[in-house]
Amino acid sequence: MLEQNRWSAVYTHPNKELLASFHLQRQGYQTFFPVISKRVKHARKLIDRKISLFPCYIFVQLDPMNDRWSPINGTIGVRNLVMSGNRPALLPNGFVESLGNELAGKREVVSKQYPPLEADAVIKVQDGPFKGLVGQFETMTGECRVRVLLEFLGGKVPVDIDRALVSSIVA
């Protein structure tokens, strides 16, 4: 028997995560839109900007057996609900809660030098909500962040993650 109120991923239009989250909440869905702080230069000043942890994705809590989930696909800002066959793909139990706890405990990132990762290197996530997952290094997305392709939700999903949380696997 499936547990009630599981989390699913929603694929949004680019830079419309907040808009999609707002409209889903207006329809009565509980959403989770994880953001991180990024320091950027603007008009010769350094400012902290909130950016999406998972660009083009937010999470919605629902009971796929009892809730009406098809209206999600027609919501402003939403491309589609991530599916597994003809049902919404469900995230692992505790994933969103773990991610929320991880982000809540996040402090300012201390700049640190790491050994460079080779293009297409196989990496393993050492800590955080993706702990134990293996993926492929894609690129650096910031001073202390990397983009990796993780086997997740039945496919390869690009994820931006703190460089300190990954290590290269030597074949």
Residue 158 has pLDDT above 70, yes or no: yes
Give the integer Cα–Cα distance in Å for 81 and 98: 22
Give the integer Cα–Cα distance in Å for 159 and 154: 14
CA distances from residue 95 to 26, 92, 120, 144 in whole angstroms, order as listed: 24, 6, 26, 23
103, 36 in Cβ contact below 8 A? yes
Residue 149 has pLDDT above 70, yes or no: yes
Q: Predicted confidence band at 160 (pLDDT cuts at 50, 70, 90)?
A: confident
Give the integer Cα–Cα distance in Å for 109 and 146: 14
**Mean per-residue pLDDT, 123-142:** 82
Residue 17 has pLDDT above 90, yes or no: yes
pLDDT tens track for 20-49: 999 999 999 999 998 887 777 778 777 778
Q: What is the pLDDT of residue 82?
A: 93
pLDDT tens track for 63-114: 878 888 889 999 999 999 999 888 899 998 888 888 888 777 654 444 445 6
Q: How many residues does the chain have?
A: 171
Average pLDDT over the chain, rounded to an integer: 82
Residue 60 has pLDDT above 90, yes or no: yes
Cβ neighbours for 165, distance < 8 A, ≥ 6 positions apart: 125, 126, 127, 128, 130
Vertex 24 angle, CA 21 and 29, to 5°: 110
Could you tell me how far CA 92 lies from the centroid of its own chain?
13
